[in-house]
Structure 1
Amino acid sequence: MIKKRKVLPSETPTVTIEKLGHDARGITHLDGKIVFIDNALQGEQLKFQYTSTRSKFDEGVAIEILTPSEDRQQARCPHAVLCGGCSLQHMKSSAQIREKQATMLEQLAHFGNVQVPEILSPLTAEPFNYRRKARMGAKYVEKKGGALVGFREKRSNFLAAINECHVLHKVIADQIPRLRELIAECDGRFEIPQLEVAVGDDAAAIIVRHLKPLSEADHRRWLMFAESTGIHLYYQPKGLDSVHKVWPADGLERLCYRLPDFELEMRFHPLDFTQVNFEINRQMVTRAINLLDVQPEERVLDLFCGLGNFTLPLARRAREVVGVEGDEALVQRGIENATHNKIDNVRFYGADLTKDITSHPWAKEGFDKILIDPPRSGALEVVRELARFKAKRVVYVSCNPATLARDAGELTKLGYRLSKAGVMDMFPHTTHVESMAVFERKN
């Protein structure tokens, strides 16, 4: 039986936005139901169009702003309302940061039961064309007159039909129209579902996912694109293990970014995890090292260390640094980066930090300072074991304020106190909240 599509109300009600949700949608009430509205800001009176109706709530998008907020600005991108690549271009950058800081403080108080004695100044940089890594969808749609390349529409599985992007690095953003044309020209236009991009300081790379072998003509098309743009070309015929470099044929599969404050050059494969915003990353690393206040005689533990983004800068200051990471490929990359930068006072270990760590040799050592940079799920399991290291100070770098708050509550139980915290605008125009917190061991 074919399920009939629900007919949406045709009226465009006028409402006043009561507050913003954590997903940046405006929240109001109408006819006894809560309504979530895209492209809305707190305090605004506006007209909206329904996009879905449920039993307990409705959803919509603002179509006319009657009384705009002082925080509103004209979105730079014409696709901002529809495209899911960003959700806050209609809000001034200063207001975005204010909201993110409020979210961090609220979560710390609510879930961690901790207050922040000192709020660090936010880390900010150019809010446009900052994104150096992205996984973009691709699809040939005859009804839309060709190929689509980009992000999905908000709250949808459909790709947004975009010709420009103001958050992607310009090396990639400037190629979106050409990539759409290229896929449309391919014999296998229906078999290219994804493009993954990475931009380093000196070069960029694109990974073309193809479900069937490329024809010789298609291979030539992609090769011509790479040669004319200078963008390194990779193919992915199957899983991640099948990713291989096609051009240039120099055998080198490393991009790089630099941390000038520490005279470091960090090499990475296009698939490796790196921060998407290199300028904020540089500021973040410098701030974290300064907040740890590492002394020349001290030993430091870097948990969830990745390819050494904090580990190697720490090694410039400390007597010894131990980096621990769950992804073995990144462990090897950390070792390579240490060798490349002629650093010999670091050790890297592979370990699943979501499980019991007590059997690992590094877990039996003592450390003066600890840095933690976990994924969105946080670091609860390893945080519960931190007391064993007797570290005087812990710096926690977070990409999820809810798990930061949870782990902060756990650290206070272990005898630490939260002394400072602040946000970093790693993902401008999105609702992602990146933050950094400092914990001191009580005497």
Structure 2
Amino acid sequence: MSETNKDDRAALLAEAAGPATELPPGWLEVVSMDMDAQGVARKSDGKVVFIDGALPTEWVSANTHRKKNNWEAASLMAIHRESAQRVRPGCPHFGLHSGACGGCKMQHLHVGAQVAVKQRVLEDNLWHLGKVKAETILRPIEGPAWGYRYRARLSVRYVPKKGEVLVGFHERKSRYIADMQTCKILPPHVDAMLMPLRALIGGLQARDTCPQIELACGDTVTALVLRHLEPLSEGDLARLRAFAAEHGVQWWLQPKGPDTVHLLDADGAEQLAYGLPDFGITMPFKPTDFTQVNSHINRVLVTRALRLLDAGKAERVIDWFCGLGNFTLPIATQAREVLGIEGSEALVARSRENYEKNQAQRPVQQALAATSFVARNLFEMTPEMLVADGVADKWLVDPPREGAFALSKALADLHQARLGAEGAPPLPAGAAHWVPPQRIVYVSCNPATLARDAGLLVHQAGYRCVAAGVVNMFPHTAHVESMAVFERA
């Protein structure tokens, strides 16, 4: 969390909370958790303290290591009253100790309580940043708490002092790689490969110039992308092939930028893909394409999103930030016409390929709706561009962490222009017959930007926030995914 965000959060907590509980000197009562999974307490003078490792309802002692005007940062020293939701972490590398892995932040909190904390974060952001309250709180989308991470970027480093290679995530608040021998959020077959991977890289001639391994698991294929800064010798390539044969993985090599990624052995290689069985869709992808980390949750997420969207056979739908077509192709099983819009030309090309492959495999009576894809910078949307895209009955919006501000602002500007609001821009050409979507389903990976955009949609674009809820895509981390539904008021 940035210092500015901490200042804002501290001010809100100090204003909203009553007087601090009377406790022995030096003790603190933890009242909530922040977006960095730190316990939040207040001193008797109202000053807010963010405490690593502390949980809501606990009474603790903490060691302050940073002081600002209206908040302090501290580390947990002792727990005097323990939360009923505190659990034993499932991974030996989790904790506050030196060298602890920084990949997870909430393993000490029961997974059900983690979801409740994330729901509170979503609601707090919607209200404090957007002045929006959802009419209905959706039931959280949850799935397996362990072995869920089908995508990961593992750092690699040969450490001469230790005489071994480290493969894994970085230590807490450090640039050093954690000495990980296991990782319980990775799929079990990948977890079992961590130590063999260390031995493999340690035996390469290029061990000093292989900084990263990127993991991508499909439904039946596991791909490992090796970043190497110098050409690999024939001996090293032979070692990679032997490892692939023993562990049932595909090796992809990345000698330079992402566009240089290629299969080590392409002949007869099975294609990386994941399925969306509720819609009869199979999504091929490359290991460097963006796909959701948690395939279990993604299947439920797509089904929930399309149920909320409720596209009919007579309706046209626009899928903004469509990526590979994760939502676009399922929508095409329900709507009359679909338009997918994405910022990356490469992803648009992949979306078209995926659409054509799925269309070719479906019986005529189950053909996908007419679907087109367009590449465009969605962070520079204007009312004129919205009108040019034509009328759509419904939208699905799935932006990156930056959110969909330009898109929401363009929609708000059109509404304000129609109302003749003071200072509103004039209606663009052709807008007289343009109609905004009746419903918008917004899938978010950042509650702060969702709240910002929700404020625009509700207060300036003429929508109601009829529902919102969290998606626990990343158990044991502080990452908050969510979904909100907006309808024209």
Q: 2:463 aligns with which of 397, 416, 429?
A: 416
Q: 2:374 aligns with which of 344, 349, 354?
A: 349
Distance 1:68 1:215, change over 3 A: same
Quick check: which one's helix share is greater? 2
Query: 1: CA distance between counterparts of 2:374 and 2:68?
Result: 51
With 164-173 and 113-122 compared, the bigger mean Cα shift is at 164-173
Letter in 1 for 2:332: A
* Aligned-residue offset at 1:180: 1.0
Query: 2: CA distance between counterparts of 1:208 and 1:119?
Result: 43
Letter in 2 for 1:147: V
Q: 2:216 aligns with which of 177, 198, 213?
A: 198
Counterpart in 2 of 1:208?
226
Residue 79 in 1 paired to residue 96 in 2?
no
Counterpart in 2 of 1:384?
409
* Aligned-residue offset at 1:20: 1.9
Q: 1:126 aligns with which of 139, 144, 155?
A: 144
Give CA deviations for 1:385-422 in whole Å, capped at 9, x if unaligned: 23554211111111111111110111111111111111
Instruction: Tell me, yes or no, if the aligned pair for 1:368 and 1:393 is still in contact at 8 Å.
Output: yes
Distance 1:53 1:335, change over 3 A: same
TM-score normalised by structure 1 residue count: 0.91
**1:252-401 equivalent positions in 2, closer than 5 A:** 254-342=271-359, 343=368, 345-357=370-382, 363-386=388-411, 389-401=435-447
Percent of counterpart pairs with the same letter? 44
* Aligned-residue offset at 1:139: 0.5
Give CA deviations for 1:232-276 in whole Å, capped at 9, x if unaligned: 101111111221110353366x41111111011011110000111
How many pairs align?
Answer: 428
Query: 1: CA distance between counterparts of 2:253 and 2:209?
Result: 13
Q: 2:33 aligns with which of 11, 15, 20?
A: 20
Distance 1:200 1:67, change over 3 A: same
**1:105-254 equivalent positions in 2, closer than 5 A:** 105-250=123-268, 254=271
Distance 1:102 1:31, change over 3 A: closer
Counterpart in 2 of 1:425?
472
Query: 1: CA distance between counterparts of 2:469 and 2:286?
Result: 30
Query: 1: CA distance between counterparts of 2:479 and 2:240?
Result: 34
Distance 1:164 1:411, change over 3 A: same
Letter in 2 for 1:197: L
Instruction: Tell me, yes or no, if the aligned pair for 1:357 and 1:363 is still in contact at 8 Å.
Output: no
Instruction: Tell me, yes or no, if the aligned pair for 2:334 and 2:369 is still in contact at 8 Å.
Output: no
Distance 1:18 1:390, change over 3 A: closer
Instruction: Tell me, yes or no, if the aligned pair for 1:135 and 1:196 is still in contact at 8 Å.
Output: yes
Query: 2: CA distance between counterparts of 1:137 and 1:340?
Result: 35
State the SS of the aligned residue for 1:408: helix
Query: 2: CA distance between counterparts of 1:255 and 1:96?
Result: 32
Residue 68 in 1 paired to residue 114 in 2?
no
Q: Which runs of 5+ in 2 are unaligned?
A: 1-25, 360-367, 415-433
Instruction: Tell me, yes or no, if the aligned pair for 1:148 and 1:162 is still in contact at 8 Å.
Output: yes
Instruction: Tell me, yes or no, if the aligned pair for 2:34 and 2:121 is still in contact at 8 Å.
Output: no
Give CA deviations for 1:337-371 in whole Å, capped at 9, x if unaligned: 11111135111111110013556598341010111
Query: 1: CA distance between counterparts of 2:389 and 2:158?
Result: 55
* Aligned-residue offset at 1:145: 3.9
Counterpart in 2 of 1:91?
109
* Aligned-residue offset at 1:215: 2.3
Query: 2: CA distance between counterparts of 1:194 and 1:31?
Result: 47
Letter in 1 for 2:152: A
With 416-425 and 35-44 compared, the bigger mean Cα shift is at 35-44
